[in-house]
Amino acid sequence: MVYKRKPKPVREFPKELLPREKLQKFGAERLTEGELWAVILGSGTKGFSVLEIGETLAELGFEKLTQMGLEELSKIPGVGRVKALTVKAVLELCRRNQKGEKPKITSPSQVEEIVRPLIKGRKEHLFVLTLSGSQRLLSVDLVALGHLNAVYAPPREVLHPVVANGGYFFILVHNHPDGSSEPSAEDIEFTERIKESAQLLGLELLDHVILGEGGYYSFKAQGLL
């Protein structure tokens, strides 16, 4: 399972949600990598909106893009030589300033790798992973510590670290000490309540991952988010 969002044509976006307008209103941290590329590139080309080009670059990722030469970059659909020069310049700036870059969270397996070592004892732990608009990890916070098979936290406590750390996306993570990773009815209800509360604040719940013994359950992968 990889966390992806399908781009929409520019004409389908309300004006206030276009990349430049979003940047001005909410700040750069609230934009996805595709939207940031769209702001940098400025305009589309014949047959390709600037958002479509931006999402293509975001899906390729920085590592792949940095390995590509100018000619290869210019052959990416919608890019061309002029925009390829812009991409090259941005990649070089990022290369010079990439020390200490936060990891990008793109799958529940990464979430498991980050959180599992933080769980101590046989109690349920509820964590919140706060992510930027480009899904870079901003913080990992333990927001509740429960009993053997139950944990609860009110929405304000769950969402506090997301707001405090300037996040946009966030991921819920909790463990089941009994070994099962399947969600309970209470887990599903809790997830929906947090999702609805987050929407009121303009935040987006990206996933809820339950850690069991030797495995995990992803709400996103199972179509529950």
Q: Tell me how far the alpha carbon of residue 158 is from its chain's centroid.
A: 17
C-alpha dihedral over 33, 38, 41, 45, to 10 degrees? Answer: 130
Determine the distance from the C-alpha atom of residue 60 to the mean position of all C-alpha atoms in its chain, rounded to a whole number. 16
Q: Are residues 52 and 153 in the same domain?
A: no
Q: Could you tell me the sign of the dihedral formed by the alpha carbons of 158, 26, 1, 60, in that order? A: negative
Q: Are residues 115 and 206 in the same domain?
A: yes
Residues in the chain predicted with pLDDT less than 50, given as ranges, are: 5-8, 10, 13-16
Tally of CB atoms within 10 A around 2: 10
Nearest to 38 by CA among 46, 49, 26: 49
Q: Which domain holds residue 153?
A: 108-218
* In a shared domain, residues 91 and 114: no
Residue 88 included in any domain: yes
The pLDDT of residue 61 is: 85
Check residue 6 and give its pLDDT: 47
Same domain, 88 and 15: yes
The phi, psi pair for 81, rounded to 5°, reads -70, -40
Same-domain pairing of 147 and 189: yes
Q: In 3-state terms, what secondary structure has residue 129?
A: strand
Query: What pLDDT, on the 0 to 100 scale, is given for residue 2?
Result: 52
Residue 180 lies in a domain: yes
pLDDT given at position 99: 58
Number of domains in the chain: 2
Same domain, 122 and 29: no
Q: Are residues 76 and 127 in the same domain?
A: no
